[in-house]
Every structure is written in structure tokens, then in C-alpha cells.
Structure 1
Amino acid sequence: MPFIKLEAGIIDKEKKEKLISEFTKIASETLGIPQEAFVVLIKENSMDNWGTGGKILSNVLAEREKK
């Protein structure tokens, strides 16, 4: 059973449905495995749980918005 995992920030339900559908479709076509065999997991993370450049991602994004 192929497993696809995406870790990202908070995603609305409609975007999750599209991601799951498209990931499954492309992986199925590429690997020649039926779509029904795939499991897709979307793990959502708060921007406070990510860091880049030694800073919490929520702060980095807030700084970018100010510019």
C-alpha cells in the first residue's frame, strides 16, 4: 500500500481534498498502481512549530508582511 505524506501549515478542507485527489492521481499514473491502493496523509502544523533561519516561521512571515 503506497503512502504519501505532506507536512504543511494549516490548509482548508477544499485544498486538502484537491491535494489528496491530485497526489493520488499523479502517483497512480506514474507508478501504474490503482488509485485505491494509495493512502495520503496531510499533517498540519502551526507556524509556531516551524523554524527557518533560526526564527519561528510565524515571526518570519509577519516580518515579510511588514515589508
Structure 2
Amino acid sequence: MNSGFIGGRDVVAFYAEKDYPSAKGYLCLAPGERWADLLTDNYFANTGEAVNDRIRSHRWVTASEYGLGSRLT
């Protein structure tokens, strides 16, 4: 759930590996997106691997840091 304030670092980025290496897979939860209904139907951007039980780190980022196809739904 992302109930943070809009502006600045308001997107939560989730990563498949610890310490935020985006090359190993990532996805984002935008502000106002309250929850992801199921992680079994979501895939990490740039790797295509299933997200379920594979998130190892997260951090707050700006919306401009990540592109289309990386949204958690």
C-alpha cells in the first residue's frame, strides 16, 4: 500500500535483490495505489520473473526514475 504524500519521492520501488539492483528486476507502486491484489500475476520489469515471494528490498523513488511496464497492479 502506498499512502505516502504526492510529490518528490512518492513511488515505492520493489526489487528482486537486496540493495536495489534494478538489473535483477524491479517494479513500482505509485502514490494512490492502495494495494496489489495478487502478486502471482505480476512480473518484474526487465526480467519477466514472477514477483510472488521474491521482493528482497524496496525504497522510495521519484516517478521519473522508472518507466512504463514497471507498475505493480
- TM-score w.r.t. the length of structure 1 is 0.25
- Structure with the largest fraction of strand: 1
Larger Rg: 1
